[in-house]
Amino acid sequence: MGFLRTKNATDYLVAGRRVHPFVMAMSYGATFISTSAIVGFGGVAGLFGMSVLWLTVCNIFVGIFIAFVFFAPRARRMGHHLDAHTFPEFLARRFDSRFIQIFAGAIIFLFIPLYAAAVLIGGSVFVASVFGMPYSTALLIFSVIIAAYVVVGGLKGVMYSDALQGSIMFVGMFALLVSCYWLLGGVTEAHQKLTDLAPLVPDSLRAIGHQGWTAMPKFGWGSSEYNLWWTVISTITLGVGIGVLAQPQLVVRFMTVRSRRELNRATLIGGVFILVMTGVAFTVGALTNAYFAEKGPEMTGRVTKVIDADKGLAVLQIMKQNDAGLWQDVEGKSAPVKLSDPGFAQAVVNDEPVDVQKGRSIAVVYAGGSADEIIPSFITHAMPKWFGLLFLLTLLSAAMSTLSSQFHTVGTSIGRDVYEQVTGQHGKSTAINRIGIIVGIIYAVVISFYMRESTFIARATAIFFGLCAAAFLPAFLGGLYWRRMTRAGAIWSMVVGFAVTAFWVTFIKAQEAATIGLCEKLFGKASLLQDVPNWPVVEPIVVALPISMVTAIVVSLFTQPPSQEQLERCFKGVQ
């Protein structure tokens, strides 16, 4: 359908500006919600608990209400007047700057594959687990399918596919929520069971402020016991919740509808969709701990620490029988458990008789220590085969809807925003777009092969969203609402936002800086602030966005304002 209805560049880039509000809302939501939300952030909820639901609140308030009420109407009308087809082109024409279009296009082309890789990993891991195929095979098959309909159909094909896939996602996630509560005996019982598991929080998480899966982490500053609060709020909630306002693949959807009325109709649809998708993923993610502690596969071992004798909570040193039938410790493997069969057998450890007992543990233990494996592990263990296939369809829809939009954005960034502006040639842009999509897919696949660390999905998503917020949001917001904002103010805010984010990720944010390794090579430590509490876990957006915003204001006030002719061209009919 997308191929048959794509007749020109406007059709290919902004779907002809005649998209139905339901299609637009579902495409926006399906693009926003991917396997990074369901698998990645759902897994983080399994690790950190329901505090992650603050991201749902932020997504609905910022990603839907603020975006659709305050950003979308002006972006739609201004985009039409400026005949802008991409987000970088919108900024460039608003501020009359070719540099802005090239710089923004280059950032998107270089860094959106990082986010795409996070989505690819989430989908490919689940495909591999369901069909028993190697991860690399699942990854390649997945990438080829997505490339096929993005390269051919343009944004029309992407948005029609998104609407269908979003509907599938909605049904699948609703079924997952109902099934989860049914397995745990109802809503009240499920949440009470999860609350009662608070003593099983691993010591490593308790040390950074984890107080249970139904409680917020400890809040404060100046001690490592507050690290989790800053991770949940700065990385998960603010990094993604604020960054959504400046996502190139989402902003362009505001330009695809005919009028403000269509945007208003899309707001409610988008809000309900985001509420169900993220709310279910994060709630079920946390509740997987209650399921595994009650119905997960039993583990066998000896008690090394009693946590709560009345509730049967303890730390179990995992043991296994050798060929001679003797019980032996599995070196380096222990787990917090809820005991299910005390006194299962007898063993001798260090010449002392001990009871071999059975118990069930929390979700991350069954996921092999990886938050990204929690949701797939839950589906595999808890759900019947047919539901696993239904949820696979849900995950495939989530991944494909987001990836198709990401790769479409990659192609238009390198084709229309970089190639056309650098060379001045406009006739071959669609072909260059499609080549750019293929290059972007290859780039994302390479990242996906090598980056399989725990929580990588959530971390990569937060980094990209935060980068977009710091680099683009001040210019985007100022371009929509502040007539006094200048070309220089927009350029410097983008450059400073990008530079501060890059510096923070490379030299301050401990986990990312350690992965990059440059700080270690230059200064002999993983983070420049590794000895200072809390700062090494704070997301770049907390620092970079305010600095970028201040830069935009200060530079604009000290530089020549835009001409009246330029302002009239941009703000004509914009209320």
Q: What angle do CA 467, 284, 174 make, to 5 degrees?
A: 95
Gyration radius (Cα) of the chain, Å? 25
For residue 565 the two structure tokens come to 């002719």
What H or E segment, with its residue span, contains residue 331? strand 327-349
Q: What SS3 class is residue 52? A: helix
Q: What angle do CA 562, 567, 571 make, to 5 degrees?
A: 150
Closest of 339, 239, 232 to residue 286, by C-alpha: 232
CA distance 49 to 284: 10
Q: Is 125 exposed, middle or buried (0-12, 13-18, 19+ CB in 10 A)?
A: buried
CA distance 233 to 343: 43
CA distance 6 to 518: 46
**Which position has the token pair 């409680």?**
215
**Which position has the token pair 């991350």?**
364
| DSSP, residue by residue, 430-493 | HHHHHHHHHHHHHHHHHHHHH---TTHHHHHHHHHHHHHHHHHHHHHHHHHH-TT--HHHHHHH
The pLDDT value given to residue 20:
57
Q: What is the four-CA torsion angle of 125, 241, 107, 69, rounded to 10 degrees?
A: 120
- DSSP conformational letter for 561: P
CA distance 161 to 536: 40
Phi, psi of 97 (to 5 degrees): -140, 115
Where does the chain hold its CATH 1.20.1730.10 domain(s)?
18-293+371-571
The pLDDT value given to residue 237:
92
CA distance 403 to 397: 10
The pLDDT value given to residue 17:
45
Q: What angle do CA 262, 161, 92 make, to 5 degrees?
A: 60
The pLDDT value given to residue 14:
43
**Which position has the token pair 């409610």?**
268
> What's the sign of the alpha-carbon dihedral 503, 507, 510, 515?
positive
First to last CA, the chain: 35
CB 449 within 8 A of CB 136: yes
Closest of 373, 52, 367 to residue 241, by C-alpha: 52
The pLDDT value given to residue 258:
64
The amino acid at 569 = R
Closest of 532, 511, 536, 519 to residue 458, by C-alpha: 511
Level-2 CATH architecture, domain 18-293+371-571 = Up-down Bundle (1.20)
What is the CB neighbour count within 10 angstroms for residue 522?
11
Q: Is 89 exposed, middle or buried (0-12, 13-18, 19+ CB in 10 A)?
A: buried
For residue 284 the two structure tokens come to 């079920």
What H or E segment, with its residue span, contains residue 57? helix 53-58
Long-range contacts of 166-170 (CB under 8 A, 24+ apart): 166/26, 166/27, 166/29, 166/30, 166/273, 166/397, 166/401, 167/26, 168/393, 168/394, 168/397, 169/30, 169/33, 169/277, 169/394, 169/397, 169/398, 169/401, 170/273, 170/276, 170/277
| This prediction's pTM | 0.88
Helix axes 487-507, 540-557, angle to 10 degrees: 160
Phi, psi of 340 (to 5 degrees): -120, -25
CA distance 68 to 555: 29
CA distance 358 to 339: 6
What is the CB neighbour count within 10 angstroms for residue 199?
14
The pLDDT value given to residue 56:
92
Give the residue ranges of the chain where pLDDT is below 70. Answer: 1-22, 24-28, 30-31, 146, 149-162, 253, 255-260, 262, 343-344, 350, 427-430, 453-454, 575
Q: What SS3 class is residue 421? A: helix
The pLDDT value given to residue 31:
67
Q: What SS3 class is residue 78? A: helix
CA distance 458 to 40: 5
- DSSP conformational letter for 317: E
**Tens-place pLDDT, residues 142-193:** 778 767 766 665 555 566 666 777 788 888 889 999 999 999 999 999 999 9
For residue 163 the two structure tokens come to 């609407």
CA distance 517 to 530: 14
HSE-up of residue 561 (Cα within 13 Å, Cβ side): 9
**Tens-place pLDDT, residues 482-502:** 999 999 999 999 999 999 999
Contacts of 134 (CB under 8 A, 6+ apart): 128
The amino acid at 145 = I
